[in-house]
Amino acid sequence: MKSETLWVPSSKPTDYGFENGLQVAKIDSGLRQGKTIQLATQEDMRRLAEESYNSNHINKTVEQLRDQRYIRVFSGLGSVGLEVAIFGNENANKIQAVLYGWGGDDHNPVAIREASVLACGNPDTAIVVVNMPGVGNSGMLPESVRKEIRKTGSYDSLGEYVGPVIDHVAKDFDEVSVGGHSLGGRVATSSVAHMESKVNELRLFDPVGSRKMGVVALGWNFIVKEGMELIRYGKKSLSPSAKKLGLEFLQREDPKVIEEVGKLSEESSVEFASPKQGWRQQFLTDPFALSNDGLLEDLLKAAPNVRNNIIIFVPEGSHLTNMRDVARIVGIVNGEPKSTSAEVGLYGILNNHTHNVMNDPTALAIVYGAGTKDLALSA
């Protein structure tokens, strides 16, 4: 990296209204910061929001999200069915998996609002979203799996289910990339390690679990600190709220077809049953796992199955991650003997943005759609 400027925590006020647009800079493992990259101006973000919410586009997105698929994965740990939806350019030759953060549900008006912008901002890509266990129609993980996740902080055992689902959906496309934000970044990482197809790129947006935090501290930072940040971003958002757009919850319906993956000939098919007590995953499993430091272990397992790039974005003002911790992890992974050409690149999201910058749909779409050539300008 040419620049010798050291990254330090910003003392500037957070740019909730994106007056400076969306700016990032590459950060190396020694915390040296590269040149500022302008991924989008405020006007770019405003224009993207306007284009995303025209009636034809948003109605198409809603119809695509209604067309849910239900894929049951058979594993030695037990079978689990997961609900997925594909939207955007379904005729594209590449597909991008986008895994939700905590509580994400593609039936939710907020998720529909996000999907419309993701599709508009990435017109040459099909996008698949996966409801996590206990959300929507997605079944619960076996108790033994939830216990392992709580104990270790690793999402490897959940990746054993989500990875094959992405593989199954991606078989109709030439190229597959995987990404996720917050909790979704952790699941995306673990899923890649369990995919048969070689992943073109793994892209993570502020993945939680880079350090031991403790469940009380995690709850305080997530609910109180980032909860206040979410309100501030909402007041300054360049996108209209789901309520103003007139979006409503999509009705949940039992799947008409159950697709099966990994079922042995002697195994019996399982009838669909809607999940019960999904809160056990969200409240009794994820908080304990994310308060642990499982990201490094999962990233080391995933890296050999990534063909080109592993890109991590961390908002410099995040209350859930620390730039120093993630930079250390990047240094360790890049220092490992390589069975892949992929290198991990860390990019700080500047202007003191916090974890909840990802809840602005335009920012989310721009982070997922930023070209690697543009990002390389900081090297």
Residue 317, number of CB atoms within 10 A of its CB: 23
Global confidence as pTM: 0.95
43 φ, ψ to 5°?
Answer: -65, -40
Whose CA is closest to 307, among 192, 200, 163, 195? 200
The strand ranges marked E within 306-375 are 306-315, 343-349
Q: CA–CA separation, 58 vs 277, rounded Å?
A: 32
Q: CA–CA separation, 33 vs 7, rounded Å?
A: 5
94 φ, ψ to 5°?
Answer: -130, 150
Q: CA–CA separation, 146 vs 286, rounded Å?
A: 9
pLDDT tens over the chain, length 379 residues = 555 699 998 899 999 999 999 999 999 999 999 999 999 999 999 999 999 999 999 999 999 999 999 999 998 888 999 999 999 998 999 999 999 999 899 999 999 999 999 999 999 999 999 999 999 999 999 999 999 999 999 999 999 999 999 999 999 999 999 999 999 999 999 999 999 988 999 999 999 999 999 999 999 999 999 999 999 999 999 999 999 999 999 999 999 999 999 987 677 787 888 888 888 888 889 999 999 999 999 999 999 999 999 999 999 999 999 999 999 999 999 987 765 568 899 999 999 999 999 999 999 999 999 987 778 643 3
Angle (nearest 5°) at CA 70 between 89 and 246:
60
Residues in the chain: 379
Say if CB 340 and CB 231 are below 8 A apart: no
Say if CB 121 and CB 46 are below 8 A apart: no
* pLDDT tens-digit map of 257-279: 999 999 876 777 878 888 888 88
Four-residue CA torsion sign, 217, 202, 365, 37: positive
Concatenated DSSP letters for 260-304? EES--TTSPP--------THHHHHHTHHHHHTS--HHHHHHHHGG
Residue 91, number of CB atoms within 10 A of its CB: 7
Whose CA is closest to 307, among 372, 370, 379, 210? 372
Q: Which amino acid is at 190?
A: S
The tokens describing 234, both together, are 């909402």
Q: Which amino acid is at 109?
A: P
Q: CA–CA separation, 341 vs 309, rounded Å?
A: 8
Q: CA–CA separation, 96 vs 294, rounded Å?
A: 24
